[in-house]
Amino acid sequence: MVLGEGLQEGGANEATANAVVAFVLVNTTNSVDMQVLADGDTIDVSGQPPVTLRVQTEPAIVGSVAFYVDGNEVRIENHSLYAIAGNNLSTGLYNPWTLPAGSHIVKATPYSLSGGGGTPGTSLTQTFLIQ
């Protein structure tokens, strides 16, 4: 495969500043977006289908996204759509994400290369209350 100037195997352009711009709550049974989340939102999981978080990035394709919960790295996702629990590439469905009830700080950082390599972009950090 021939890559354009500055384009890396991970899919991101080194010359373009990468940024995570939103967290999105997703229904994992059908991969449908439920809500774009704001800092301080409450995620009520009682009576809901299994859910996960994915991020929106600018540009849409980056090398990878590292996810952190309460300061601990929980996943580096190399495939868009970048989800905190990953997804099944053969079915296209997201893997469910479970987190204990309470307040949690979630951070996502984009990178220009796969595996959290290359140049880090602009992170997004938000606090969510899980009920």
Q: In 3D, which of 108, 105, 104, 84 has the Cα closest to residue 95?
A: 84
Establish if 98 belongs to a structural domain: yes
Per the structure, the count of domains in the chain is 1
Rg (CA), the chain: 15
From the number of C-beta atoms within 10 Å of its C-beta (0-12, 13-18, 19+), residue 40 rates as: exposed
Distance CA 25, CA 43 (A): 9
Distance CA 104, CA 97 (A): 13
CATH number of residue 110's parent domain? 2.60.40
Establish if 9 belongs to a structural domain: no
Q: Domain range for residue 75? A: 19-130
Establish if 3 belongs to a structural domain: no
Establish if 97 belongs to a structural domain: yes
91 token code pair? 């079915």
pLDDT computed for residue 90 by the predictor: 87
11 token code pair? 């899919």
- One pLDDT digit (tens) per residue for the chain, 131 residues: 333 333 344 444 445 689 999 999 999 999 999 999 999 999 998 888 999 999 999 999 999 999 999 999 999 999 988 999 999 888 889 999 988 999 999 999 999 999 999 999 999 999 999 99
pLDDT computed for residue 6 by the predictor: 38
pTM: 0.85
